[in-house]
């Protein structure tokens, strides 16, 4: 079962990669500056590569072990009641996902370490040129990530359709194909987590360490060539903000599309593509988003030194979003039939293709609003940042209180937008709507990433300019780009967390379907306990991440202090610091410290799922999602606001009528806030969205294996409403029909009683249904309204797992069998 349109998806990805190659060649061709600049850039590139190699080495063990476990898991077939649709091929899929994710990070880092020095050189000429080089560098990464994702997902899907001989959408073979494809996403997202956390620890350990000794103790400027940690700091921008983010967004992008595909597979669509259209739609939209991202890059340019770089980026971003939105209208109309329904009616009602389009619009609106809100909370000159500046006037402590308070406050509007987005997209197209809204948001990932990656390139370019002691105007131009980069980084995070929340809900829905539960009822005590435990995980994850930065930064501080002490002549530019020692400290620390948080994310769903079953795991996922989104927004925005509060002092700020500048007491307080904010905004904050998605994907992958497990169900409650009703019916009225009397009557007598009491036909039918085919009252033996459930009707099949029905010894074997048919 294939269709020509299937080949369109990887084709669009190939177009993206071709454009990427052209842009990449253009960047490489640019002038890389004088020998000194090239030497410094060489250190950075070498350090970055060293980190990637060390990281890959550790991760390759993980990939091999996890791959073997997955291959083994693929050999299970499950029971007749809970068949497992998987295959050992899932391990291949997993490895490909992991490798592509790592490769996406590599592409970005490779181009970034070339673009940085070329941007510095370009900045010697004009702002316009510098923007062009740095933004093209970012674009290469964006296109690389999106291109690889689209090609990977699209072509694997084609391969799996054929490999598993899929004949229809709602077939077991399709379930296998999708489960195996989930392995791709698992691979991508696992690597993303380690890359983001490891890179985040690296960059902030170096940054905090370099600042604490260099700026605060030695009094030398940021990026000063005399600071032994300065190369590590610049390497950090590449491994954290570029490679880490590349792997992160690759994982998010894949997870979002996959979640929509999983739900799409459950949709009954009478279309021209063998019912494949709901599965295809997210991939096609992603492909188009990639193309429109390329179009959007054409708008990113400035002419004069005074033109606004932010406006240029916004123009590019909004135009690619708008074009994708418009295009998706036509795509939705071309692909989808007018109406669709779910194969399993419990999933929801019929919905229309117009509803799907509306949901995409909701997704784009949510993303846009999240960006705007995030910008408000982190931008200079706005109320939140101004309040932190004012509170810096009374010292370090009030600055911290101010930032924490702003961060917490900044969760309100995003959560309301998100809640509205969930309700809205759900209203328009049910669970598929929620999922496609996320896919719509993520469609322009290439553009989003180009804008994001341009920031660290500009930051690095500034660093090289400073280290090479280039003229003031060069640093001025790179600072201009860097400042814009800070804002785009913040808005990018708002965007990412919103998409993660929507994606998680979609994954959540997919998980529920595959694990065979119909609800996640937090009124059940074990599920509520799961919710608590899930809510706690982002806290311990954040704790580990920021503590790791604190520890690694202390090591860095001690090493820098040692070099200043033991290597004479550094401060007089007579001796060169041992940069590589600092690089090694960051590398080692980040690799070591990324393991514990990563393990929590990967292992906790497995433990909870296998011990307590899918419903408790569902509760845990909900807890992780809610708490993770809140902690992500809180930490990212607090960090961004502190950063810009500190930056505001460079131009001078007025507190209680007095002007304060750099080196003043309030400025020192603001530096404290910025330092606290560093791990918040670049290590733990942005990891939250990977954490929640990764845990959802792990749960999705193990879902078939835990289907049917249950733990500590509230007896009777989980039993389906029918049983409860039946218990009452022997002593209570059914309509006007007194059922308590029927137990001692024949069917005929009961019918007569019903008639005499004026029961209507439904009520009478209900009474009659108490008798079996032979006219025997099948409830007899249960006098009065006992608490023992009665298993005598087919609808008692609906009693859910492990309930009292099955334990009731008074129920005879065949009845028990029927009653407990779906029980395990």
Site for its own copies in 60-99 (CB under 8 A): none
Instruction: Quote the least distance from Cβ 655 to its own copies, whole Å.
Output: 10
Give yes or no for residue 564 binding its own copies (CB under 8 A): no
Q: Which of positions 138-157 make contact with its own copies (CB under 8 A)? A: none
Closer CB to its own copies, 199 or 618, in the complex? 618
- Per CB under 8 A, the segment of 27-35, 72-80, 472-480, 513-521 that binds its own copies is 513-521
Give the integer Cα–Cα distance in Å for 638 and 451.
21
Give the integer Cα–Cα distance in Å for 109 and 241.
9
Instruction: Quote the least distance from Cβ 490 to its own copies, whole Å.
Output: 18
- Contacting its own copies (CB under 8 A), which of 7, 532, 610, 661? 532
Q: Which of positions 720-749 make contact with its own copies (CB under 8 A)? A: 720-722, 724-727, 729, 734-735
Q: What is the DSSP letter of 719?
A: G
Query: Tokens representing 370?
Result: 């999240």
Instruction: Quote the least distance from Cβ 36 to its own copies, whole Å.
Output: 32
- Per CB under 8 A, the segment of 259-267, 307-315, 319-327, 619-627 that binds its own copies is 619-627
Q: Are 697 and 182 in contact (CB under 8 A)?
A: yes
Q: Are 188 and 694 in contact (CB under 8 A)?
A: no
Which residues in 462-501 are b (16+ Cβ under 10 Å) and which e? bbbbbbbebeeebbebbbbbbbbbbbbbbbbbbbbbbbbb
Q: Which of positions 397-426 make contact with its own copies (CB under 8 A)? A: 397-398, 400-402, 404-409, 411-412, 415-416, 418-420, 422-423, 426
Q: Which of positions 324-343 make contact with its own copies (CB under 8 A)? A: 341
Instruction: Quote the least distance from Cβ 294 to its own copies, whole Å.
Output: 34
Task: Give first-to-last CA distance, the chain, whole Å.
Answer: 35
Instruction: Quote the least distance from Cβ 622 to its own copies, whole Å.
Output: 5
Per-residue x/- mask for its own copies, residues 434 to 473, rule CB under 8 A? Answer: x---------------------------------------
Instruction: Quote the least distance from Cβ 12 to its own copies, whole Å.
Output: 31
809: exposed, middle or buried (Cβ count in 10 Å: 0-12, 13-18, 19+): exposed
- Contacting its own copies (CB under 8 A), which of 244, 296, 597, 618? 618
User: Alpha carbon of 227 to those of 39, 239, 459: distances in Å?
Assistant: 16, 20, 17
Instruction: Quote the least distance from Cβ 588 to its own copies, whole Å.
Output: 19
- Per CB under 8 A, the segment of 37-45, 56-64, 450-458, 507-515 that binds its own copies is 507-515
Closer CB to its own copies, 468 or 635, in the complex? 635
Q: Which of positions 103-132 make contact with its own copies (CB under 8 A)? A: none
Instruction: Quote the least distance from Cβ 203 to its own copies, whole Å.
Output: 15
Number of residues binding to its own copies, judged by CB under 8 A:
135
Give the integer Cα–Cα distance in Å for 372 and 378.
10
Instruction: Quote the least distance from Cβ 272 to its own copies, whole Å.
Output: 22
- Contacting its own copies (CB under 8 A), which of 185, 672, 687, 696? 672
Query: Tokens representing 575?
Result: 């001796």
Give the integer Cα–Cα distance in Å for 732 and 725.
10
Q: Residue 738 in 3-state DSSP?
A: strand
Give the integer Cα–Cα distance in Å for 392 and 669.
6
Q: Which of positions 750-779 make contact with its own copies (CB under 8 A)? A: 751, 754, 760-769, 772-774, 778
Q: Which of positions 340-399 make contact with its own copies (CB under 8 A)? A: 341, 345-350, 387, 390-391, 393-398
Instruction: Quote the least distance from Cβ 108 to its own copies, whole Å.
Output: 28
Residue in the structure block whose two tokens are 């039918």:
765
Q: Are 98 and 187 in contact (CB under 8 A)?
A: yes
Query: Tokens representing 418?
Result: 């998100």
Q: Which of positions 179-208 make contact with its own copies (CB under 8 A)? A: 208
378 contact partners, CB below 8 Å, separation of at least 6 = 384, 385, 487, 490, 637, 640, 641, 643, 644
296 contact partners, CB below 8 Å, separation of at least 6 = 316, 317, 319, 320, 323, 444, 447
- Per CB under 8 A, the segment of 158-166, 283-291, 481-489, 506-514 that binds its own copies is 506-514
């Amino acid at each position: 079962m294939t269709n020509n349109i299937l080949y369109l998806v990887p084709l669009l990805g190939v177009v993206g990669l071709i454009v990427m190659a052209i842009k990449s060649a253009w960047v490489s061709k640019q002038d890389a500056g004088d020998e000194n600049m090239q030497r410094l850039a060489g250190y950075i590139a070498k350090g970055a590569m060293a980190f990637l190699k060390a990281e890959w080495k550790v991760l390759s063990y993980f990939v091999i072990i996890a791959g073997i476990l997955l291959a083994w898991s693929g050999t299970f077939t499950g029971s007749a009641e809970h068949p497992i649709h998987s295959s050992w091929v899932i391990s291949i899929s997993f490895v490909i996902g992991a490798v592509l994710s790592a490769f996406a990070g590599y592409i970005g880092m490779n181009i970034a370490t070339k673009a940085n020095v070329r941007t510095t050189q370009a900045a010697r000429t004009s702002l316009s040129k510098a923007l062009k080089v740095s933004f093209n560098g970012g674009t290469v990464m964006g296109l690389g990530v999106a291109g690889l994702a689209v090609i990977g997902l699209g072509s694997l899907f084609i391969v799996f359709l054929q490999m598993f001989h899929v004949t229809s959408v709602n077939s077991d073979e399709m379930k296998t194909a999708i489960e195996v494809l989930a392995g791709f996403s698992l691979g991508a997202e696992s690597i993303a987590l380690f890359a983001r956390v490891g890179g985040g620890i690296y960059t902030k350990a170096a940054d905090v360490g370099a600042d604490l000794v260099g700026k605060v103790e030695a009094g030398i400027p940021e990026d000063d060539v005399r600071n032994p940690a300065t190369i590590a700091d610049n390497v950090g921008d590449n491994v954290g903000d570029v490679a880490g983010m590349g792997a992160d967004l690759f994982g998010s992008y894949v997870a979002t599309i996959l979640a929509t595909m999983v739900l799409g597979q459950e949709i009954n669509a009478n279309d021209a593509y063998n019912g494949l259209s709901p599965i295809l739609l997210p991939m096609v939209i992603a492909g188009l988003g990639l193309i429109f991202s390329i179009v959007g890059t054409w708008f990113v340019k400035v002419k004069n030194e005074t033109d606004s770089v932010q406006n240029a980026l916004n123009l590019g971003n909004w135009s690619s979003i708008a074009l994708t939105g418009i295009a998706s209208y036509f795509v939705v109309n071309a692909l989808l039939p007018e109406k669709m329904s779910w194969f399993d009616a419990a999933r929801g009602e019929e919905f229309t293709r117009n509803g799907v389009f509306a949901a995409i619009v909701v997704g784009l609106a949510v993303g846009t609003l999240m960006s705007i809100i995030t910008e408000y909370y982190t931008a200079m000159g706005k109320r939140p940042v101004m309040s932190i500046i004012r509170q810096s006037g009374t010292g370090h402590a009030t600055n911290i209180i101010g930032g924490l308070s702003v961060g917490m406050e900044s969760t309100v509007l995003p959560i309301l937008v998100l809640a509205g987005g969930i309700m809205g997209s759900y209203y328009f197209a049910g669970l598929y709507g929620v999922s496609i809204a996320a896919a719509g948001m993520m469609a322009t990932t290439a553009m989003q990433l180009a804008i994001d990656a341009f920031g660290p390139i500009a930051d690095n370019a500034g660093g090289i300019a400073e280290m090479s002691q280039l003229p003031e105007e060069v640093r001025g131009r790179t600072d201009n780009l860097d400042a814009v980069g800070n804002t785009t980084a913040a808005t990018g995070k708002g965007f990412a967390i919103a998409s993660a929340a929507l994606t998680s809900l979609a994954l959540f829905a997919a998980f529920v379907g595959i694990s065979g539960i119909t609800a996640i009822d937090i009124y059940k005590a074990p599920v509520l306990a799961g919710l608590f435990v899930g809510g706690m995980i982002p806290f311990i994850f954040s704790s580990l991440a920021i503590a790791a930065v604190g520890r690694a930064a202390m090591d860095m501080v001690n090493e820098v202090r040692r070099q200043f002490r033991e290597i004479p002549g550094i401060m007089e530019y007579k001796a060169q610091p041992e940069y590589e020692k600092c690089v090694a400290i960051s590398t080692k620390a980040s690799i070591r410290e990324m393991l514990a948080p990563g393990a929590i994310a990967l292992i906790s769903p497995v433990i909870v799922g296998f011990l307590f079953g899918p419903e408790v795991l569902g509760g845990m996922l909900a807890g992780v999602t809610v708490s993770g989104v809140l902690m992500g927004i809180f930490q990212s925005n607090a960090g961004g606001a502190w950063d810009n509060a500190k930056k505001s002092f460079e131009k001078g700020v007025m507190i209680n009528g007095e002007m304060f500048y750099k080196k003043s007491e309030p400025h020192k307080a603001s530096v404290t806030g910025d330092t606290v904010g560093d791990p918040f905004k670049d290590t733990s904050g942005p990891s939250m969205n990977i954490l929640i998605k990764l845990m959802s994907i792990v749960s999705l992958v193990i879902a078939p294996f835990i289907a049917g497990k249950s733990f500590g169900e509230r007896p009777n409650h989980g039993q389906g409403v029918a049983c409860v009703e039946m218990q009452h019916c022997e002593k209570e009225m059914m309509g006007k029909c007194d059922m308590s009397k029927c137990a001692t009557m024949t069917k005929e007598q009961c019918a007569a009683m019903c008639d005499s009491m004026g029961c209507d036909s439904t009520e009478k039918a209900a009474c009659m249904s108490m008798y079996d085919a032979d006219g025997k009252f099948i409830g007899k033996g249960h006098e009065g309204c006992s608490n023992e459930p009665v298993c005598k009707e087919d609808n008692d099949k609906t009693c859910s797992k492990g309930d009292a029905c099955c334990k009731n010894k008074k129920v005879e074997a065949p009845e028990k069998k029927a009653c407990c048919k779906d029980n395990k």
